[in-house]
Structure 1
Amino acid sequence: MGEIREKWQKYIATFILITLFLSFSTTVKAESPFDTFSVNGFGQTIFTQPAFEPHGVLADDIYIEDENGESVYSPLNQPKDFFVANNDEIYIADTGNNRIVHLDENGELVRILLVPDSPLSKPSGLFVTEKNEIYVADTGNRRVLHLDKDGGIIKEYLRPVSKYIDESFVYEPTNMIVDSRGFVYVVSRGTFQGIIQFNPEGEFYGFYGTNITEVTLMDRIRNTFYTKEQLSRQVRLLPNPITNISIDNTGYIHTVSNDGAEQIKKLNIRGENQWKDFQYEENINLKFLSRTTSQEEPATGSSTNLTDISVDGNGIVTVADKASSIIAQFDKNGEIIFFWGAPVLSGSRQKGVPISPVAVETNSRKQILVLDDSLNLIQVLKPTEFGETVQTAFILTEQGEYDKSEKYWKEVARQNALFTPAYTGLARSAFYKEEYEEARELYKRAGDENGYSDSFWQIRLNWFQNKFPYFANGFVLFGTIFLIWIQVQKIRLKKNKNALTTKKRRETINKPQPTLFDQLKHAFYILRHPIDGFDDIRFRNMGGYLSSLIILVLVIFIAFSRIFLTSFTFQPVQEGTINVTSILTISIAIWISWVICHYLIGAIKQGQARFKDIFVGSAYALFPIFVLGLPLAFLSNIMTISEVSIYSTISGFMTLWCVVLFFWMIMTLQNYSVGETVVSILLSLFSMIILWVLIFIIIGLTSETIDFIMTLYRELTM
């Protein structure tokens, strides 16, 4: 028994030691303090795994020597900008302390630059060249300083002098960049003319990248109707100023501004915006973010405040939004990759969560550095395994290395099946390998109608090339048969030309009552002769309730068939997101309310149509959908996006045909003039709005009444 007891004691002791060893040796990874999002190919905001995680903070423990040689704590004071040089060393514009703080790649203090020969005043921007020459936007002194690597002054860029610049121009540089030619691009506070451009000699070269002027509807009305004197008293419309600037390795200049139309721009050397269709707020769903992270929704008119933009060596763009404390990343084409933010708890400081981001940079290790002017430090974020995989996949795809990127995109899709850029990357790889069927399906999953169309174009081209001999032989055979048929017809005409007679169709007065088949066939007659056709509905009973219901059912069937049969190229909707019941209910409700409201308006406006006439005519006027809807849906499946004009023309013609039939239906059945018809239509639409408002009010009041009665009943029965 003693031996058995000792053996069990050894087992228990060994188990305890192993457990303790594992508990101390295993690192428990803390949950990310912020939520990460992306946008799929259908414009829906989705959660993703964290792409970046907190790695540490920099510049929070700066110590310098005082006059007595003692080390004293000297924190940052409202810094406005920083720059990461090619060797990953960091230069910080310590605005409140009127100095430049130079740190090494690990965040250790290298030196403090004060420029004693010409002291700095509120420096707000920095740029460091490949030769480690330093450019400083010395805002308080209204200049840009060009310093050598030791901090000695090389040149000053003062207020530009030009006949195109008046005396009221205010020159307050807040940031700048320098291109490979030595041209300096200066952002000045409140300058609506754009970026100030200096040549390498320091001479004013011109304005660059000016934002467009935002003109509202009221501004257009004023310009149309106001006199010159009235317009002179109005506030002058000016473009919004650019707030910050960055340049990438290829020479493209990126700017940010609090502008409704051009918040982020990518400018070429001529100042042309390559991201013309880009809208920051369309990519970043601020309301979704505030709802999911419990942040207060930004005030109207100040939902964004883009303070900085940075472009890494691979063309990935990172943007800081101070108003919403958001960091967002885009690829070189302006497609959203990730954006993230977190609730800022008052009085708290969370590692990796900027409260007031004013500047953002990326180093060679793909780490994101965020300068916070409220916390007076730099937050360092490093890519997670997921984020690293996504970035590698994006970079390889942009470089055209589709084969190499495929394994990374597969891993991304395995980790997050909702991340649609992975399917786009896989589709490009399949397209590159000429696997067009697979590419088409992947583009469809990604919500990329352009890629889907390009893949189908290749499939169609290959099919046509393979079948071309059959088409050629068939064309020759058809042409031969057609020529023989023409010759036979000529011979028959010569033999029987005296036997042919012409006949005229005459309507009889006592024509029998039209059957259901006659009424349905009459819908085709209306397409060719709308006025006579609608007149026959009124006076010859060529339409009835049953035929109208049959036509409505057919139209609804065709309309829903179009939804499911139309090619993804022309209807890029995610599968399973179409609510058939909702569409059907709304469509029927609108049609019924139209019939009722127009009949009532016609009764008031001395119209001659009966309720049956309006009911039947409104159904028959939709018949072009039955005629063209299904052929158009099938046609879309053999067309690519390059033929979108053909598809749009046919679809627009179908809609216009219905509108015209409705117009002729009202004018004919009600016996209205053109003007009376227009007024009747407008009044009918207005009455439909009033009807639905009343219905919603009644539903709301009924619901409240029922709730009140139920509450009262429960109180009385307690």
Structure 2
Amino acid sequence: MKKRRRISHSILVVFSLLTIFLSNSFTVKADSPFDTFSVDGFGRTIYTQPAYEPEGVIARDIYMVDENGEKIYSPLNKPQDLFIDHQDEIYIADTGNNRIVHLDKSGKFVRALTVPESPLKEPSGVFITDNGDIYIADTGNKRVIHLNNEGKMIQEFLRPESKYINKKFVYEPINMIVDRRGFVYVVSRGTFQGIIQFYPDGGFYGFYGTNLSEVSLMDRIRKIFYTKEQLARQVRLLPSPIRNVDIDKNGYIYTVSKDKSEEIKKLNVRGENQWKEFSFSKNVNVSFLREDSTVKKEGQAGVSTDLTDVTVDENGIVTVADKANALVTQFNQNGELLFFWGAPSTSGKAQMGVNQSPVALDTNSENKIFILDDSLNLVQVLEPTQFGKTVQDAYILTQQGKYVESEKYWSEIVRQNALFTPAYTGLARAAFYREDFEASKELYRLAGDDQGYSDSFWQLRLNWFQNNFTYLANAFVVIGLTSIAGVQFRRRSKRKNLSEFSLLKKLVWMKEIKLLEQLKHAFYILRHPLDGFADIRYRNKGGYTSAIVILFLVISMVLVRMYFTSFTFQPVAVGSINIGSILTVSTTVWVSWVICHYLIGSIKQGQARFKDVFVGSAYALFPVFLLGVPLAILSNMMSLNESSIYGFFNMLMIIWSAALFFWLIQALQNYSVGETIINSLLSLFSMIMLWVLVFIVIGLSSETIDFFLTLYREVTM
């Protein structure tokens, strides 16, 4: 009996535990339905933990009370804008229903603004001031209206009147913002002049934040060669219109548009872009979101974007919606990418957290993101994850100059994701602030920040010079005195003739070794290129062995430069240098040059033999070997402040080698300067044609092999 009781009790306990486990398992949040990415310091797109996770959906089920007191289902219809006021209450421009929907902070319906005294028509934008006044972009009525917090109309902003505005100017407001002074900034559909700026009383002030015109190379060529009449018949190059706008607490205005060079702008009060070097397409690799599509195969160049809205939270974090790719992207105050996320969605099938057509977004005081979807007619709500909160807190502290306080946050981020290189930048800034320059230098290397690395190195070099200045000064004096004494001693030495005789004897011994004599001829070519290359042709001053030795030395020097050049002048990730591909490409280019130049020279009545072209082309690379080691050493002694010196010697090496190739053609082929230029261009063109032919042959061979393999499988089945 007791045994049965124990068994029954055990079963009851197991059943209770199982019930508790199952009930809790249904309350656990599912994995994030979208992938989150970032970009490391070397421009590589990396996976990260989700910065946000779905919290829920609002505005999906809206019920209004009619005149009879009955609830009527009234869903959104093609909404176009979303705004969250300082009390976290939500306003939606319900364009298809000609109204503004007001929800409380939890997403419950409060009221619908229709302005009965002057009904709305296709409102596309809404903005709420700190005192509760409501501004609506009433697109269908071609106006912006100003309401009080009760929804009563106060003012209209109609088409601006000015002698600077053409009569054909179309005024269709789609959104607007209001600054602290009461100035209204209106975005009008298709207006290339920029944002329309109004005085608080409705008077026209001017245009603001105009995008620059995109001018192609062909446009520049036309401007040089076309007459005024021909240019007048060309289509005018107009700037791209601004799509949407937002303003932060400091008065900076952010705009988004389809302009390739100015997709996102941060404008100050004078309309100057603070993000001039910013490029959305370079930061965000949309192809990572489409692993099963052609976009992944074609690469980033084939991806088009449609940035529909931008919002800035209280901490200066900028969030952007890309409607074309159902993508959400975040940047910090300096335009540095934090995260971007999205997921391919099944058309017509809603999934929590996954957008199909994000048209507008905004953030509340809790840093939650509200994303309006005009295809699903609802609002997705995302809340920050612990990882996302940590990243934002770390960035905010760093922006405020609180480097020591931010260090623990960055360390936690590295612990969770060692590939998130912005964390290394934050740690490096903290180490630099503590004057631990050695640690900051290595952290900047991990972060891929060559400027920070250079600054840390500069501080280390300065400290070293300050600590060793006395020794350096004494060494300089000793070396100077020793040099003077040595010169005087050599002048008075009675064994001068003997030393010269032994040196001459040594040179005679070197002449007996043909290879050494040919290698020494490389130095002669540097001083007398035309005579030196002519000696290769007519006096047999070069050979295959010496040419191969020089090629080996050049290759060795290139590898030495790759591994020993300072990170300041070669900011690449550790282990990212592919020696095999570099050697393969370099060898292919050099060999194809030798073959093509020899063939072109034969056709164009040149006098060079294949041996001459082979040997001369190797000798022309000698400056790469000669300057390679000094440049590698020099790079480890300089910062970016002296980059012009390093760049000068690097360019000298390239120009010197290119000039030797030019003189090689002139001397070996016995050409004039004009014939040499023509031969060089023909050789380069024939190299390109050779590579194209090789690629075609490889492609056809691959297809042929696949065909025979497929045929073989069919026959043997």
What's 1:332 paired with?
A: 333
The answer to whether the Cα contact below 8 Å between 2:631 and 2:650 also exists between their aligned partners in 1 is yes
Q: Distance in 1 between matches of 2:299 and 2:617?
A: 47
Query: Which digits, 9 at most, give the CA deviation of each residue in 1:78-101, with x for residues without a partner?
Result: 111121111111111111222211
How has the CA–CA distance of structure 1 residues 700 and 357 changed in structure 2, closer, same or farther, with 3 Å as cutoff? closer
What's 1:73 paired with?
A: 73
Q: Distance in 1 between matches of 2:514 and 2:28?
A: 81
Which has the larger displacement, 223-232 or 593-602?
223-232
**Amino acid in the other structure paired with 1:621:** A
1:8 is displaced (CA, Å) by: 4.3
1:221 aligns with 2:228: no
**Amino acid in the other structure paired with 2:409:** Y
**Amino acid in the other structure paired with 2:112:** I
What's 1:453 paired with?
A: 454
How has the CA–CA distance of structure 1 residues 215 and 538 changed in structure 2, closer, same or farther, with 3 Å as cutoff? same
Secondary structure of 2:439's aligned partner: helix
Q: Distance in 2 between matches of 1:527 and 1:38?
A: 49
Which has the larger displacement, 288-297 or 547-556?
288-297
Q: Distance in 2 between matches of 1:449 and 1:225?
A: 43
The answer to whether the Cα contact below 8 Å between 2:425 and 2:447 also exists between their aligned partners in 1 is yes
What's 1:289 paired with?
A: 289
Q: Distance in 2 between matches of 1:702 and 1:490?
A: 71
What's 1:599 paired with?
A: 598
What's 1:399 paired with?
A: 400
How has the CA–CA distance of structure 1 residues 302 and 20 changed in structure 2, closer, same or farther, with 3 Å as cutoff? closer
What's 1:500 paired with?
A: none
Q: Distance in 1 between matches of 2:200 and 2:91?
A: 23
What's 1:657 paired with?
A: 656
How has the CA–CA distance of structure 1 residues 5 and 209 changed in structure 2, closer, same or farther, with 3 Å as cutoff? same
TM-score normalized by the length of structure 2? 0.93
What's 1:532 paired with?
A: 531
Query: Which digits, 9 at most, give the CA deviation of each residue in 1:587-611, with x for residues without a partner?
Result: 1111111111111111111111111
Q: Distance in 1 between matches of 2:117 and 2:128?
A: 20
1:651 is displaced (CA, Å) by: 0.9
Q: Distance in 2 between matches of 1:305 and 1:478?
A: 67
**Amino acid in the other structure paired with 2:574:** E
What's 2:694 paired with?
A: 695
What's 1:247 paired with?
A: 247
What's 2:200 paired with?
A: 200
Q: Distance in 2 between matches of 1:597 and 1:300?
A: 33
1:670 is displaced (CA, Å) by: 0.6
1:305 is displaced (CA, Å) by: 0.7
1:704 is displaced (CA, Å) by: 3.8
What's 1:15 paired with?
A: 14
The answer to whether the Cα contact below 8 Å between 2:262 and 2:279 also exists between their aligned partners in 1 is yes
**Amino acid in the other structure paired with 2:667:** T
1:384 is displaced (CA, Å) by: 1.2
The answer to whether the Cα contact below 8 Å between 1:514 and 1:541 also exists between their aligned partners in 2 is no
Query: Which digits, 9 at most, give the CA deviation of each residue in 1:500-530, with x for residues without a partner?
Result: xxxxx9xxxxx98771111111111111111
Secondary structure of 1:243's aligned partner: strand
Which has the larger displacement, 41-50 or 106-115?
106-115
**Amino acid in the other structure paired with 1:436:** F
What's 2:497 paired with?
A: none
Which has the larger displacement, 551-560 or 441-450?
441-450
Q: Distance in 2 between matches of 1:43 and 1:703?
A: 33
Which has the larger displacement, 254-263 or 512-521?
512-521
Q: Distance in 2 between matches of 1:648 and 1:584?
A: 23
1:480 is displaced (CA, Å) by: 5.8
What's 1:498 paired with?
A: none
**Amino acid in the other structure paired with 1:612:** K
1:710 is displaced (CA, Å) by: 4.6
What's 2:554 paired with?
A: 555
Which has the larger displacement, 362-371 or 441-450?
441-450
Unaligned runs of 5+ in 1: 496-504, 506-510
The answer to whether the Cα contact below 8 Å between 1:302 and 1:323 also exists between their aligned partners in 2 is no
The answer to whether the Cα contact below 8 Å between 1:90 and 1:102 also exists between their aligned partners in 2 is yes
How has the CA–CA distance of structure 1 residues 716 and 153 changed in structure 2, closer, same or farther, with 3 Å as cutoff? closer
Q: Distance in 1 between matches of 2:147 and 2:277?
A: 39
How has the CA–CA distance of structure 1 residues 202 and 438 changed in structure 2, closer, same or farther, with 3 Å as cutoff? same
Q: Work out the percentage of aligned pairs sharing the same amino acid.
A: 64
Moved beyond 6 Å, runs of 4+? 292-302, 482-486, 489-493, 511-514
Equivalent residue runs for 1:42-121 within 5 Å: 42-121=42-121
**Amino acid in the other structure paired with 1:120:** L
Q: How many residues align?
A: 703
Q: Distance in 1 between matches of 2:179 and 2:54?
A: 32
1:238 is displaced (CA, Å) by: 0.5
How has the CA–CA distance of structure 1 residues 704 and 138 changed in structure 2, closer, same or farther, with 3 Å as cutoff? closer
Secondary structure of 2:13's aligned partner: helix
How has the CA–CA distance of structure 1 residues 552 and 148 changed in structure 2, closer, same or farther, with 3 Å as cutoff? same
The answer to whether the Cα contact below 8 Å between 1:307 and 1:358 also exists between their aligned partners in 2 is yes
Q: Distance in 2 between matches of 1:435 and 1:664?
A: 52
Equivalent residue runs for 1:491-506 within 5 Å: none
1:183 is displaced (CA, Å) by: 1.7
**Amino acid in the other structure paired with 1:31:** D
The answer to whether the Cα contact below 8 Å between 2:286 and 2:303 also exists between their aligned partners in 1 is no
1:555 is displaced (CA, Å) by: 0.2
The answer to whether the Cα contact below 8 Å between 1:295 and 1:343 also exists between their aligned partners in 2 is no
Equivalent residue runs for 1:206-605 within 5 Å: 206-291=206-291, 303-478=304-479, 515-605=514-604
The answer to whether the Cα contact below 8 Å between 2:287 and 2:300 also exists between their aligned partners in 1 is no
Q: Distance in 1 between matches of 2:70 and 2:621?
A: 89
Unaligned runs of 5+ in 2: 495-503, 505-509
